[in-house]
Structures are given as structure tokens and as C-alpha cells.
Amino acid sequence: MTQTQRTIIFILAAIALALMLALGIYVYHSAQTMAQQPLGPALPVMPEQALPPTWTASPGPTPTQMGVVTLAPQVSFPTHTPGPRCGGPAVMNVLVVGSDARADNYLYGLADAIRLMRVDFVTPKVSVLEFPRDLWVYIPHIEDNLNGQDHEKINQAFLYGQPGFQYWDDPSEGSGLLALTLNQNFGADVDHYLTVNMRTFVHMVDALGGIEVNIPDETVAKTSGLSVGRHTLNGEQALKLARNRSGGIFERADNQDLVLCALRKKMTQPQVVADIPALIESFEDNIRTDFTPQQLSQLACLAAQMPPENIVLASFPGELFKQTRTYDPVFDKRVSILEVDPLILSDFVARFQAGAWPIPEPESSRDIDPEDNAVVCE
């Protein structure tokens, strides 16, 4: 081999190596970019809400109340404050919606289940708050389409934002309009949303190999339609339990909590955790969410570190609500609704999002024990 041939081979090898390196860098950056791309349209910017009156800070003691004091010099010592785990933010608020649409699309459908999930990446802890679907609320952007009617049940906010109605022009559709409705009525700040219809829910439970629920006593058995004890449910059976309304709307929420706890237990098993992002991405066309693959990986990472006692399912105290009927011009008849003081619910929501509820409290200003409405998954 001549010197010229060796030189040519060396140059070609160098070019090939440079191309491989460039290709590797391109693939890496492309993967990073794709990991940060949302799987669906982002939520609209939520207007800032004023804190409810019950959150007015109490004034401190006046100088005359304190008397004459000498302040000793203060020495500050550095303290170690743990940061968020898994590369996530400190706190993430997620709107989780279960749509009653039976088709593979999201043209129509009411919000059959409405949950606000607070994910604490520092503690770590997950708290889930249920909003009753029969709340009578103000829904923005529907007035022009309903001859001046601007109040409906909260589950219809999702329906009116879907493409079948499209009462507001935003890519986030029903999930975004429901998030905006929660914000404007109760001050809820929503960072992300995850919406699943009934058919997709069934497929996902089956893809996980089913879930195991525990019916603790006869009271729960009567409203769940299952006998006391443990049951392994497939997707259709889990959906039937979650939608069972024989005991009323609050008992139905309890049944949904049973399913959520069972899902939490299944999805935090070591052999399942690593597959969660791929599982959700595999249903990308059947799920509505603005999560990125990177954020899904962060949630899966946090799930693996989550103690069971740090997952709390909360409901508003039932005594806050009044079941009544009101005339609904849309349906031209009286419909069953839940009435509630929105300021009281706003106070609960504010404390929930601040991480201050549900936790044991020495005294409740409204003679309500918040822990009576909190369930810790086993």
C-alpha cells in the first residue's frame, strides 16, 4: 500500500468518524427535543385569583402590646432543604378527567369523574381532590351559545369545550374549559391535564393485567355491587365499579377512590413502573394530555419512590352541599344539582393546593373534621 493510499484511507476514516459523531449528536438532540414536546395542546393561561376572605392574614402584635424589649442579635445557620426529586418541579397540579364517551374519539362526552391531583416532588406526596359532577357553576364562554345561559353542571363544562360543541375556541378543548371553570369558580390553579375516555380506561386496565380492589365491609359492598373481600377486576369490571351510582353521588366517588387506589398499587409495582411512560404513549391517540414524555418519566420515577401512606384521596365534607333542583333552560326542565358556598370550597381548594389540607387539624373553624373526608391508599 502506497503512502498516497494510506493517506486517502485515513482521510475517509476521519470523515466517516465525523459523520457518525454528527449523527449521534443529532439523534441525541432530536430525542431530547421530542422528550420535551407536549403530547397535546397546552392549557390556556389561568387568570390570577384572589385568595378567599378566610385566608386574610392575622395582624401581628403592635409595639404597645409587645412592650419595650431588647432584641438579641440573631445568628442564622445554614439548613439543608431537599430539592424536588426526579428532576420535576416542586409541585405540580394536574386535572384528571374521566370522560363518559364510549367511542375512541373525544367529539362529545361529559366529565364523569373530575379530580384535581397535587403532586409534591419534594416530600414526595400525591393528594387527589374530587369535585362532584353535579355542582352548579358558572361556565365561561358558553353564554353566547345558550341564549344567555352561563350556569350549568360542572361536568358539562367538559362537554361544551369538546369539538362536537366547541363553545370556545382553544386547542385544549373540553379539558381546558373544565380547568378554566374550576379556576374561575374555586380558584384552582391547573398546570397540566390528563383525560381518559371509558374505552381507553378499559384497555389500560387490561394492559396492566387487571387491578385488585379490597371491599372492606358490608356498607361498601352494598354500594359497590361486590362482596366483602379482595377481587381482581379486568377493565370492564373496573369501569362498572367506578360508574356504580346505586348509593348516590358521594358513594360513587368512594367507589372511584377504590379503583384509583387499586390502580396506584398496580402502577407502582417495580415491574410496571418502568413501562408507565411507554404505556401512556401507546395510548397517545386515545388520551388527551399536555404532558411531555420527559414529564411522564418524572412521574414514573416519583411513583417508584412514593410511600403508600403519602397518597391521599380527599373529598369535600358532604355537609357543605345541599341537594336541590333548579330549572335548566337548556333542557327546559328542573334538574338535580348540588348547591354550595363557593367561598368555602375556594378556601378548601386554596389549602389543598398549598399542601395544608387534608392533614390533621387541632380545630376546624367550621366544625368540620377534614380527615373524615380523606382516604389513604393501603
Q: Residue 187 gets which letter from DSSP?
A: -
8 Å CB contact between 39 and 293: yes
3-state secondary structure of 336: strand
The dihedrals phi and psi of 286, each to the nearest 5 degrees, come to -110, 5
Q: Report yes or no: 273 and 302 within 8 Å, Cβ to Cβ.
A: no
Residue 356 burial by CB count (10 A; 0-12/13-18/19+): exposed, middle or buried?
exposed
Which residue numbers in the chain have pLDDT < 70? Answer: 1, 3-35, 48-80, 247, 273-274, 277, 280-282, 284, 360-373, 375, 378
Q: pLDDT tens across 168-212, in order?
A: 999 999 999 999 999 999 999 999 999 998 888 888 888 888 999
Q: How far apart are CA 177 and CA 156, in angstroms?
A: 10
Query: In a 10 Å sphere around its CB, with 0-12 CB exposed, 13-18 middle and 19+ buried, how is residue 307 labelled?
Result: exposed
Distance from C-alpha of 233 to C-alpha of 230, rounded to nearest angstrom: 10
DSSP structural state of residue 108: S
- Contact at 8 Å (CB) between 61 and 86? no
Taking the model in full, what pTM does it have? 0.75
Going along the chain from its start, the domains and CATH numbers come out as: 86-376 (3.40.630.190)
